[in-house]
Amino acid sequence: MNKKHIAILGSTGSIGCQALEVIKAHTDLFVVEVLTAQNNAELLIEQAREFLPNAVVIVNEEHYPKVKEALIPQGIKVFAGENSLTSIVQMDTIDLVLTAVVGYAGLQPTIKAIEAGKSIALANKETLVVAGELITALAKQKGVDIYPVDSEHSAIFQCLVGEFHNPIEKIILTASGGPFRGKKREDLLAITKAQALKHPNWTMGAKVTIDSASLMNKGLEVIEAKWLFGLRADQIEVVVHPQSIVHSLVQFEDGSIKAQLGLPDMRLPIQFAMSYPTRIPSVFPRFDFAKYPSLTFEPPDTKTFRNLALAFEALNRGGNAPCVLNAANEVAVEGFLKDKIGFLEMSDVVEKCLEKIIFITKPVYNDYVDTNKETRELANSLIY
């Protein structure tokens, strides 16, 4: 396996930091070519000094002088701003772009990376939620591979290795159920952000953790799965699996089901995406059946956790509806984290935006941009 030169977009976030752990363990296989961060200049500087990338981007331009002063002595190129983020992914020396930024911000740099013919390790599910049809068509046109990093989609992908010629009957995405599994609406009226940020199994950033608690994360993953694996909405099922050991399953036309299992550790799907088609050794903890005598499964409660139902509704509508869903949710989560709205009110904001934003059946890129902007304005007006 030749060394892969990797650009990590969002290197200071949870996925980015774990990707660097994988690279550190396999310096014979991976080289850090580019690191980027939105605001965390201190950690970006620390990472750059350790991994000595060709270039770094600090998106918030206020931090540019600090980062430049710290890294110029090491001969590392330093850039700033959103335009630099979309330009840097086109560097000739990059083999693989790991998109680990959170939210809508990942869309444009992913498009530019695909246009430049770069392989994509996709941790930014919102890219496919917002513009799945555009992204998959562009990747096909450019002959670009998209390797899923989300544990659930990585599980599906791993189950399909050697099976790509066999039609899928359905896929089953597993969900932990989050910290409020089993609770009813009246139990969630006074939920605080501190409670919502305590995920039982996974360590993630604040936005993804809140999405997991509300089941919106699973809704976004449903939409992402549709585009990654070319499925209809009725071929995607969600099941709650509190232990988070079975990461997802594929059922084939003969009724056989394949599942991918393992301890909750994002380094495994990150490593698989970066090393595919080769499996490389790891020192990650191993699963022990004796410690998990019972693995349980149950249907999701979409009446209490309405976000999952709203996501399926947006998927069935198609067009720009998933873009509306994503934008409204990003604003709603921010409002919840700022104590401006309650936990259940996040779903209210998303639902109202889906009702009010003009539906576009066949959106092009500019339609996604406009839809995102208009939805955010409406969502903000509903919250503030």
Q: For position 131, what pLDDT does the model report?
A: 96
CA atoms lying within 13 Å on the CB side of residue 32: 29
Cα–Cα distance between 345 and 335 in angstroms, integer?
10
Q: For position 204, what pLDDT does the model report?
A: 72
If you average pLDDT over residues 223-238, what whole number do you get?
97
Domain annotation for the chain: domains and CATH numbers: 4-148 (3.40.50.720), 153-300 (no CATH), 318-384 (1.10.1740.10)
Q: For the range 193-199, what are the long-range contacts, defined as Cβ-Cβ under 8 Å and sequence gap of 24 or more?
A: 193/336, 193/337, 193/339, 196/336, 196/343
State the angle between helix axes of 321-337 and 345-356 in degrees (0 to 180), rounded to the nearest 10.
150
State pLDDT tens for residues 149-191: 999 999 999 999 999 899 999 999 999 998 999 999 999 998 9
Q: Which amino acid is at 199?
A: H
Cα–Cα distance between 244 and 247 in angstroms, integer?
6
Cα–Cα distance between 360 and 348 in angstroms, integer?
22
| pLDDT for residue 347 is more than 80 | yes
Q: For position 202, what pLDDT does the model report?
A: 67
- pTM (predicted TM-score): 0.94
* Closest among 347, 51, 377, 86 to 213, alpha carbons compared: 347
Cα–Cα distance between 23 and 19 in angstroms, integer?
6
Share of the chain above pLDDT 90, in %: 94
Backbone region of residue 319 per phi and psi (left: phi > 0; alpha: psi in -120 to 50; beta: other values):
left
State pLDDT tens for residues 114-157: 999 999 999 999 999 999 999 999 999 999 999 999 999 999 99
Q: For position 66, what pLDDT does the model report?
A: 97
Give yes or no for a contact between 207 and 104, defined as CB atoms under 8 angstroms apart: no
Share of the chain above pLDDT 70, in %: 99
The chain-wide mean pLDDT, for the chain, equals: 95
